[in-house]
Amino acid sequence: MSNNNTLRDKMLAVIADVNAEVAEREELVELIAVALLTRNNLFILGRPGQAKSYSINLFRRHITGARQFERLLSKQTDEEQLFGRIDLASIIPGSVPEAVFRDDPTYQRLKSELETATDDYGKFPDDLAKKVEMQEATERLKAYRDALAAVRYTGEPCVQTAGKIPEAEIVFLDECFKANDGVLNSLLTALNERKYTNEGRTYAIPTISFMAASNEIPNFADPQEKILEALYDRLQIKVVTENIEDRDKRLAALKNKQSGRAGQVTATISLDELLAMQREVAAIPVPDAINELADNLLCELRRNGLTVSDRKYLILNSK
């Protein structure tokens, strides 16, 4: 079996695994996979209680090795909760932002040596040699830390982004339209360009897909909600959920929850495997006939009063 088929089978196994847990969400589950494979953003519209968040979170659990971020947005959500807060060490003389230590291989090696020496001394507190070894490891780490502080301290503030959007491969924003204007504006560049500006320094972020869910779509004709249109447009793939219609599927879902087996993960995809799948998808040639058909569809939508931005058209059809 070729590697291509192996990766395809793994994705199909994950899709089947998730579909076995959520009733009548085949379209949503498939589009989650499409968003991840094409590095697009996904928006889910549906009433409360339709397993929007559950489906996304369950699918995310099947991807191993990927850094993930989730937040339920509200008017009280601030930028620090999404992107991180000022690292005080970046503005205190003699200190260094934690990100510098985290990314410095020599510092991490010295830290590991100190941890090992400390553990050994803890096991043999009467061993003088191990005590000396721990003290020497402490001095080496301190000396290197002081050297980094002398070389890397700039006095410029830096946001500590660990565990936040700028360091996540997959991001889920629930009730995405509930946030305040400042937070929504801060998301636009990340959603569209996959970039973040950390106190004047702009750099690429690793986010593959932003996934967002909401119970409603804003009224873009309302001047107060017009600002939300830019965010909505950046969520290229959209899907609507409904209540479960089939009685047998409702009962099967209920029985699954009552069994205590709901949410189990039996198939997984690693981050490296997902990235390999993305490369395969990006390498698929798109015939001119498909591009022309997509353009005809765009023109027809616009003639019927349905707005599709050039950005959305070009991004979706370039994947």
- Grouping H, G, I as helix, E, B as strand and the rest as coil, residue 130 is helix
Residue type, 266: T
Q: For strands 85-86 and 159-160, give the pairing.
A: antiparallel
| CA proximity to 233, closest of 170, 179, 178, 177 | 177
pLDDT tens digit at each of 319 positions of the chain: 456 779 999 999 999 999 999 999 999 999 999 999 999 999 999 999 999 999 999 999 999 999 999 999 999 999 999 999 888 777 777 777 777 888 889 999 999 999 999 999 999 988 899 999 999 999 999 999 888 888 876 777 888 898 999 999 999 999 999 988 888 888 999 999 999 988 778 999 999 999 999 999 988 888 888 888 889 999 999 999 999 999 999 898 888 888 877 778 889 999 999 999 999 999 989 899 988 998 898 888 888 887 778 877 777 666 5
Residue carrying structure tokens 């395969």: 280
User: Cβ distance 241 to 44 under 8 Å?
Assistant: yes
Amino acid at 39: R
Q: Which CATH number fits domain 3-76+163-284: 3.40.50.300, 3.90.1150.10, 2.60.40.10, 2.30.30.700?
A: 3.40.50.300
CA 198 to chain CA centroid, nearest Å = 18
pTM for the model: 0.80
| Run of H or E residues at 129 | helix 128-152
- DSSP lists the bridge partners of residue 174 as 72, 213
SS3 of 154, please? coil
**Number of other residues whose CB lies within 10 A of the CB of residue 210:** 27
DSSP 89: G
Q: What is the pLDDT of residue 199?
A: 76
Tens of pLDDT along 70-93?
999 999 999 999 999 888 777 777
Name residue, tokens 């909600």. 225
Q: On the CB side of 134, how many CA atoms lie within 13 Å of its CA?
A: 17
pLDDT of amino acid 316: 67
Residues whose CB falls within 8 Å of the CB of residue 317, separated by 6 or more in sequence, listed in order: 286, 291, 294
Q: Is 104 exposed, middle or buried (0-12, 13-18, 19+ CB in 10 A)?
A: middle
pLDDT value of residue 318: 66
Give CA separation, 129 vs 137, 139, 140, 142, in Å: 12, 15, 16, 20
pLDDT at 97: 76
**CB 82, CB 191: distance < 8 Å:** no
In the chain, where the domains are located: 3-76+163-284, 86-152, 287-319
Q: Which secondary structure element, helix H or strand E, spans residue 240, and what is its range? A: strand 237-240
Q: Whose structure tokens read 């507190």?
A: 125
8 Å CB contact between 148 and 100: yes
Identity at 70, one-letter amino acid code: E
Determine the Cα–Cα distance for residues 180 and 170; give it in Å rounded to an integer: 22
Helices (H), 194-287: 228-233, 247-259, 271-282
